[in-house]
Structure 1
Amino acid sequence: MPANSADIPYLASLLDGLAQYFPLSLPIVIALILLAAATSALSAAVGVGGGTLLIMIMAQLMPATALIPVHGMVQLGSNGGRMAMTWRHIDMRRLLAFLPGVALGALVAAWVLIRLPEGVLELSIALFVLFTCWGPPLPKRALSRTGTLIAGAITTFLSSLIGASGPLVASFIKQGGGERHTKVATFAACMVAQHLTKAFIFGMAGFLFHEWLPLIVLMIGAGLIGTRLGLRFLDRVSNRHFDGLFKWALSLLALRLAWLGSVSLISH
């Protein structure tokens, strides 16, 4: 049924009214909400990749100054929902060893500003992820409580610099073994801890979260829906098939980082 011509000014007024609550245009807001649902479904189904894909696209649609803090809060909600839905499968021993490292990495990130030559960071992460996927297993010492604490500190610090440390954390979780639900749940819990620190770090730096709050809330809500859909797929796939998907998803993300790092090094 076609809209009455009298309704058009009302609709335009309604859209203008909604637009005032967002720092971006409504088409971009809608695109980001749908994207949050899709990427959350990806992370829940395959174990990794959603956060990295999300920040790649967000970087094309929003100001650079808001990218990492807004992405961090959206990922906090998405991973928090996934953690709540899978909490029975969390490897608490590994998580408790990871948490002190998160606190240490966050403190360093809050007070120390460091910038390696462009490309070095991306290439280093890519090489490590590819090594953990296709190389020999990490030594037991690297997977010990101390090794896990160090991994938590390093990845939390890097997360504040590049925004998405998911592939690095996931590659470490992968080496720890366990079935598919354990990997997804433990990874989500570790990422919740990391993204919580961003609220502190960027709040201390003066970022105005309230200006972006409506968008963040809507993206988190969409992410919860996507997580539920992705977990349905996870329930149906076998551990063997999941491990293959997990490894290839990590490898593709690592190759993308390697490409970006190489381009940055060559161009500078």
Structure 2
Amino acid sequence: MADFLGVPDTGALLFFGLSFASFATAFIGVFTGTAGGLILLALMAMVMPPAALVPVHTVVQLGAGVTRTMIMWRWVMRATLLPFIVGAAIGAGLGAKAFVSMPTSATMGILGIFILIVTWLPKLGRMGAQSSRFAAVGFVATFVGVFVSATGTLVAPFVASAAPDRRNHAATLGALMSFVHILKMAAFAMIGFAITAYIPLMAAMIVTGAAGNWLGEVALNHTSEQRFRLILQVGLTVLALKLLYDAIRQSGWLG
């Protein structure tokens, strides 16, 4: 396979295919309120080397989060930002020694159950003061995110519980996840992972992701609050069940 624009093991067809995937999943992420980053990660995992997957996905998702925040800034719930950033910084600073010692199947199972509980019992997502709640979510999302990358699914139920409007949800989730990805990039820089060869691909995916964000906001403005909440709840449930299935499969319980 020729290295299109110097991107390792990436032909022109794959290059443009991943760029379109970034567009489509950015649209999905805004319109459904979740899932976009996780779907993109799954698609990239099919065609990219494992060592480059999470760092490249992180940069692309940062681009998607920043452009979504810029497009929808007036809808961001600013009171959530500082507590979340403080929690996220602590999560990144402490590292993940305890996490990496836990089997992947156990981690996915815990996340799946947690997402189901918060999604279907929304009052739990509003327990305690908002500042402490989002500080804790920021810590966990960054701590786990270095290894599983797409943790927007974990943050989404808490944002949904606090957001009075579907546009508040989409904008705030984009802003909060941008901080998570910035801290993850700092962690990758500390361990010396170089992704300069993937700059053309990442740039293309960020541009197409921005287009997907814009179109997603247009679609969001033309849907009802009730429909959005239903789509979000169903989407989170499906993703949580997928995590539980993967946890059971990896643990060997299915034989």
TM-score normalised by length of structure 1: 0.89
Q: Using the alignment, how far apart are the partners of 1:175 and 1:266 within structure 2?
A: 35
Partner of 1:225: 211
TM-superposed CA distance for 1:19, in Å, is 1.8
TM-superposed CA distance for 1:138, in Å, is 1.1
> Residue by residue, what CA displacement relative to the aligned partner does 1:179-238 show, whole Å, maximum 9, x if unpaired?
101011110000000011121111111111211111100000110111111111100011
Pairing 1:128–2:114 present: yes
Partner of 1:25: 11
Distance 1:103 1:241, change over 3 A: same
Distance 1:93 1:20, change over 3 A: closer
Which of residues 224, 228, 233 is equivalent to 1:238? 224
> Residue by residue, what CA displacement relative to the aligned partner does 1:17-75 show, whole Å, maximum 9, x if unpaired?
x7252112222211111100000010111111110000011111000011111000000
Q: Do the aligned partners of 1:110 and 1:201 also contact (CA within 8 Å) in 2? A: no
Pairing 1:82–2:68 present: yes
Q: Do the aligned partners of 2:126 and 2:158 also contact (CA within 8 Å) in 1? A: no
Q: Do the aligned partners of 1:130 and 1:251 also contact (CA within 8 Å) in 2? A: yes
Q: Using the alignment, how far apart are the partners of 2:153 and 2:126 within structure 1?
A: 20
TM-superposed CA distance for 1:141, in Å, is 4.0
Distance 1:56 1:207, change over 3 A: same
> Residue by residue, what CA displacement relative to the aligned partner does 1:111-153 show, whole Å, maximum 9, x if unpaired?
7772311311111111111111112511754453122111110
SS of the aligned residue for 1:257 comes to: helix
TM-superposed CA distance for 1:109, in Å, is 2.5
Stretch moving more, 107-116 or 117-126: 107-116
Q: Using the alignment, how far apart are the partners of 1:187 and 1:20 within structure 2?
A: 33
SS of the aligned residue for 1:221 comes to: helix
- Structure with max Cα Rg: 1
Q: Do the aligned partners of 1:143 and 1:176 also contact (CA within 8 Å) in 2? A: no
Alignment gaps of 5+ in structure 1: 1-14
Q: Using the alignment, how far apart are the partners of 1:130 and 1:111 within structure 2?
A: 26
Stretch moving more, 139-148 or 233-242: 139-148
Partner of 1:48: 34
Q: Using the alignment, how far apart are the partners of 2:125 and 2:4 within structure 1?
A: 53
Q: Do the aligned partners of 2:55 and 2:185 also contact (CA within 8 Å) in 1? A: yes
Q: Using the alignment, how far apart are the partners of 2:214 and 2:195 within structure 1?
A: 27
Paired residue total:
253
Partner of 1:118: 104
Q: Do the aligned partners of 2:125 and 2:161 also contact (CA within 8 Å) in 1? A: no
- Superposed counterparts of 1:192-211, under 5 Å: 192-211=178-197
Partner of 1:186: 172
The CA RMSD over aligned residues, in Å, is: 1.9
SS of the aligned residue for 1:137 comes to: helix
Stretch moving more, 241-250 or 135-144: 135-144
Distance 1:174 1:140, change over 3 A: closer
- Superposed counterparts of 1:42-191, under 5 Å: 42-109=28-95, 114-135=100-121, 137-138=123-124, 140-191=126-177
Alignment gaps of 5+ in structure 2: none
